[in-house]
Amino acid sequence: MSLVAWIALRRQLIDDLKTYMDDSFSFSLADRLLFYEPYQTFYPAKQTRLLQLWDEIRLPHDKAKQEFGCPLTVIGFDVDPNQMQATLPPQKKSALVDELHRFGLV
């Protein structure tokens, strides 16, 4: 996935692209949408261009994973770029505290 991210950043000029394992994410202004024909859906321009790159190199992807909006869950955190904050949902916080107790760290 690192090579694909490099191509997206350096060759396709999709700026501010972040990748964690096999998840890619970024940010965009709400009014910058492009239509992605295969899914018959409007997505943020950067996301649409990334999907087009994946199509070009035949990298499989699923419509169900193509999320956008605010807030958005990114690697388990609820991210709200408008509020400039990332929070851990209550159930995940509770699970984290339980694990800390289990390891004797709290």
For the stretch 63-99, pLDDT in tens is 998 988 888 888 888 988 888 899 999 999 999 999 9
Domain range summary for the chain, segments of one domain joined by + = 1-69, 70-106
Q: What is the pLDDT at residue 54?
A: 96
Alpha-carbon Rg for the chain in angstroms: 17
Is-contact 19 5, C-beta < 8 A? yes
Q: What is the pLDDT at residue 26?
A: 85
Is-contact 60 77, C-beta < 8 A? no
For the stretch 6-29, pLDDT in tens is 999 998 899 999 888 888 888 888
| CA 62 – CA 89 distance, rounded (Å) | 25
The pTM assigned to this predicted structure is 0.76
